[in-house]
């Protein structure tokens, strides 16, 4: 996708006299979204500012606003970009239950690779990216034989669960960025739990060991399976 096009252009300008030919790397909505994703991946949500963007794209802020209405739209576009790949990646031939797990896993992995996507998904629920996931889940529920009346609620339950984890995971990533690593972060959470009165918080004390060595992805899929089991029960 021509990530180095800016450098190429600058080299060309330095070695050749400028020509009137159309620059192939002219500013475009696509290039802006791409640059935004690079900033978000490298330095997190807080680092994405129009100033950072115009520096990276070597342009003025007004130029960015020519292609993108505002920051909300830009964030929605970056999220759509990442999620679109997930949903279309799910192979159409799979068995419905496996397909649902694959969709959920795909969203999980996308958030794992780009934590800022989690924050964005849970903040803007009716954006296109979320619709894509909702549609994909709903189709598979149909294939699974869930009666039409119940499909809306079931898809909604799965979607809310996925979005809930999305937000949680994104927030976790935000905190871990400040700490050293994941296990140190979990240890500090466990420490805080340990300071709570065991008489008032018996459950938290009980599950602290599980907190410390649980696998996020596995726990996420366990939740999906739980909801699928519930769907089986009402079917």
Partner DNA sequence: ACCTGAACACCGTTCAAGT
Displacement of CA 190 from its chain's centroid (Å): 26
Q: How far apart are CA 216 and CA 220, in angstroms?
A: 6
Closest CA to 224 of 167, 155, 170: 155
* Per rule CB under 7 A, count of chain residues that contact DNA: 19
Residues between 15 and 74 that touch DNA (CB under 7 A): 26-27, 48-52, 58-63, 65-67, 70-72
Min CB(101)–its own copies separation in Å: 14
User: Exactly one of 38, 71, 168, 187 binds its own copies (CB under 8 A); which one?
Assistant: 168
Count Cβ atoms below 10 Å from residue 45 Cβ, excluding itself.
16
Does residue 211 contact residue 190 with C-beta atoms inside 8 Å? yes
Min CB(175)–DNA separation in Å: 15
Listed ranges 6-14, 24-32, 94-102, 163-171: which one lies at the site for its own copies (CB under 8 A): 163-171
Listed ranges 7-15, 32-40, 54-62, 133-141: which one lies at the site for its own copies (CB under 8 A): 133-141
Nearer to DNA, 71 or 151 (CB): 71
Q: How far apart are CA 63 and CA 61, in angstroms?
A: 5
Binding mask 84-123 for its own copies (x = CB under 8 A): -----------------------------------x--xx
Does residue 36 contact residue 53 with C-beta atoms inside 8 Å? yes
Q: Give 228's contacts (C-beta < 8 A, 6+ positions apart).
A: 97, 100
Does residue 81 contact residue 127 with C-beta atoms inside 8 Å? no
Q: Which helix (H) or strand (E) holds 130?
A: helix 128-143
Binding mask 194-233 for its own copies (x = CB under 8 A): --x---xxxxx-xx--xx--x----x--xx-xxxxxxxxx
* Assigned token pair, 211: 């907190």
Does residue 185 contact residue 179 with C-beta atoms inside 8 Å? yes
Min CB(226)–its own copies separation in Å: 4
Partner in contact with 207, chosen from DNA, its own copies, none, beta carbon below 5 to 8 Å by kind: its own copies
Min CB(183)–DNA separation in Å: 28
Q: How far apart are CA 43 and CA 40, in angstroms?
A: 6
Chain residues that interact with its own copies, rule: CB under 8 A: 119, 122-126, 131, 134-135, 138-139, 142, 148, 151-157, 159-168, 171-172, 175, 189, 192-193, 196, 200-204, 206-207, 210-211, 214, 219, 222-223, 225-234
């Amino acid at each position: 996708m021509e990530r180095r096009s800016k450098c190429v252009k600058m080299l060309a300008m330095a070695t050749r006299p400028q020509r009137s030919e159309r620059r192939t790397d002219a500013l475009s909505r696509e290039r802006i979204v791409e640059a935004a994703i690079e900033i978000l991946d490298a330095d997190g949500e807080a680092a994405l500012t129009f100033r950072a963007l115009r520096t990276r794209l070597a342009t003025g802020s007004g130029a960015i606003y020519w292609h993108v209405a505002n920051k909300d739209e830009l964030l929605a576009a970056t999220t759509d970009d990442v999620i679109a790949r997930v949903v279309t990646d799910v192979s159409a031939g799979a068995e419905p239950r496996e397909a649902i797990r694959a969709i959920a896993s795909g969203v999980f992995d996308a958030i794992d690779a780009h934590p800022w996507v989690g924050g964005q998904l849970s903040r803007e629920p009716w954006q296109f990216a979320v619709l894509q996931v909702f549609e994909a889940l709903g189709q598979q529920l149909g294939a699974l034989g869930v009666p039409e009346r119940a499909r809306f609620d079931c898809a909604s339950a799965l979607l809310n669960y996925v979005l809930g984890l999305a937000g949680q995971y994104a927030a976790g990533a935000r905190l871990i960025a400040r700490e050293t690593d994941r296990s140190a972060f979990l240890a500090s959470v466990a420490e805080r739990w340990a300071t709570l009165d065991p008489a008032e918080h018996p459950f938290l004390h009980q599950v602290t060991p599980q907190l410390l060595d649980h696998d996020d992805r596995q726990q996420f899929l366990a939740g999906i399976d739980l909801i699928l089991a519930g769907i089986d029960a009402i079917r």
